[in-house]
A and B are shown apart, each in its own frame.
Chain A
Amino acid sequence: NAGVTQTPKFQVLKTGQSMTLQCAQDMNHEYMSWYRQDPGMGLRLIHYSVGAGITDQGEVPNGYNVSRSTTEDFPLRLLSAAPSQTSVYFCASSNLGQTNTEAFFGQGTRLTVV
């Protein structure tokens, strides 16, 4: 059971570099989202999608882009990395249409920007 798969698990970037964090799910979930986790701040929503072709901003979208061309994939792009983007990133997916929907999380990507 793959669930939600994130790659890479670790990444070091130099300031100004770009990269894409990959996220894929095999549960046919409509809803996918990206969070960043920082000490003392819990999880903050970056972007989310309620279905293929539909994305929206969360609490902290600046510096990040997303797209949702398929139900399965929801990549997160950093166009010009900054030290403030050093964090642990989690992708999650869930079903809509149910009030008791459970979110399934990937293992996380630990990103360091130097």
Chain B
Amino acid sequence: GNSVTQMEGPVTLSEEAFLTINCTYTATGYPSLFWYVQYPGEGLQLLLKATKADDKGSNKGFEATYRKETTSFHLEKGSVQVSDSAVYFCALFSRGGGNKLTFGTGTQLKVEL
């Protein structure tokens, strides 16, 4: 079946530091890949997505590239802000996986001044 593996948190960074959150996946077929973000006390919202190999998703300074050869979709940001503190979820959607959205366990990011 489908699965998503994320690096464990929490990740604590100083403001303006570089961020990488690793995500690898196992899937049947050709999945679409997503990063969702959850701010404290809120539901999840889509941060970025990529639908095929070598696509790069980007939003709010965050980027992730769909790497089929390494089955990875790592999230990066060049300079984090305190307002980026949240939980980040990597996810995939694959029709071969029964039309289900499969999530990783989430990585908590804390950005300090």
CB of A14 to closest CB in B, whole Å? 25
| B side interface size, CB within 8 A | 22
Q: Is the interface of B mostly helix, strand, loop or mixed?
A: strand
* B43 and A101 form a contact (CB under 8 A): no
Which residues of A (60-93) have their CB < 8 Å from a CB of B? Answer: 90, 92
From B43, B45, B95, B105, contact of A99 by CB (8 A): B95
Interface size on A, residues (CB 8 A): 25
Question: A100 to B94, alpha carbons, bound, how many Å?
Answer: 10
Q: Across the interface, which residues of A come within 8 angstroms of B104, CB to CB?
A: 42
Which A residues are CB-close (under 8 A) to B106?
42-43
List A residues at the B interface (Cβ < 8 Å).
Answer: 4, 31, 33, 35, 40-43, 45, 48, 50, 58, 90, 92, 94, 96, 99-103, 105-108
Given A42-B89, A107-B43, A108-B43, also A101-B105 (CB < 8 A): no
- Whether the Cβ atoms of B43 and A100 lie closer than 8 Å is no
A105→B45 contact, CB < 8 A? yes
Report whether B100 and A99 are in contact in the complex, using a CB–CB cutoff of 8 Å.
Answer: no
A42 / chain B contacts, CB cutoff of 8 Å = 89, 103-106
Complex formed: what's the CA distance from A92 to B32 in Å? 17
